[in-house]
Amino acid sequence: MDQQLFVKMALQGWNTQVARAEKYFNALSEADFQKTVAPGKNRVIYLYGHLTSYHGLLSDTLGLGEAFYPELAPVFLRSPDGPAVNAYPVEKLREYWNNVHARLTVLFNALPAEDWFKRHNAMTDEDFANDPTRNRLSVLLSRTNHIAYHFGQLVLV
C-alpha cells in the first residue's frame, strides 16, 4: 500500500481531533476553564495547557525543528494541576494553542510521506533498527489518541 495514503489518513485523524478539541475550548467561558473533569482531578485549563505543551514539543520530537513553548512543560507535563497553572491565562494559552497548531500544520504538510516512516528523536538508531514501527508516524498516531483520550475527559465537564 502507498505510504502517502497512510500519511494522509493519519493527518486526517490528527486534524479531526485537533479541530474537535479546538471547537470545544473555543466554546468555553472563563469560568468553564476552572471546572474540574471530576472531583479532585484536573481543571479544564490544565488540560488545555497540557495538550498545548505536549503538541508544542512535537516539532522537536519529530526532528522538524525546535520545540514551541518548552517553558510550559514543567507546569503542564511534569507537574499535576496546581497554582502554577494560574500564571497562564486562558487567552495566553489560546494564543499558544493557535501558534503551535498553525506551525505544526505547515511542518506536517511539508514533510514528504517517506519521511514520516523515519526515526524520531526520542529513540536511538539502534532502537529504530530493532523496531522500525516506532517512527514519526507512530508518534503522530499516539498524539492523536492522546487528544481523543483527554477530549473524552473534557466532555464529562
Query: What are the DSSP calls for 68-131, one per residue?
Result: S-GGGHHHHTSS-SSGGGGGS-HHHHHHHHHHHHHHHHHHHHHS-GGGGGSBPTTS-HHHHHH-
- Contact assessment for residue 137 and residue 9, using Cβ atoms and an 8 Å cutoff: no
| Predicted TM-score (pTM) of this structure | 0.95
Please compute, for residue 154, the number of CA atoms within 13 A of its CA located in the half-sphere on the CB side.
26
What DSSP designation does 33 have?
Answer: G
The span from the CA of 89 to the CA of 110, in Å, is 32
Q: Helix or strand or coil: residue 36?
A: strand
Mean pLDDT of the chain: 96
Amino acid 1: pLDDT: 60
**Model confidence pLDDT, tens digit, residues 35-52:** 999 898 999 999 999 999
Residue 7: its pLDDT value, please? 98
User: CA-CA distance, 146 to 128, in Å (whole number)?
Assistant: 22
CA-CA-CA-CA dihedral for 108, 27, 21, 66, to nearest 10: 40
Give the cell for residue 122.
Answer: 526520542
**pLDDT tens digit string along 37-92?**
989 899 999 999 999 999 999 999 999 999 999 999 999 999 999 999 999 999 99
Residue with cell 473524552: 152
Structure confidence by residue, pLDDT tens digits, 13-42: 999 999 999 999 999 999 999 999 989 899
Q: How far is CA 150 from the centre of its chain?
A: 11
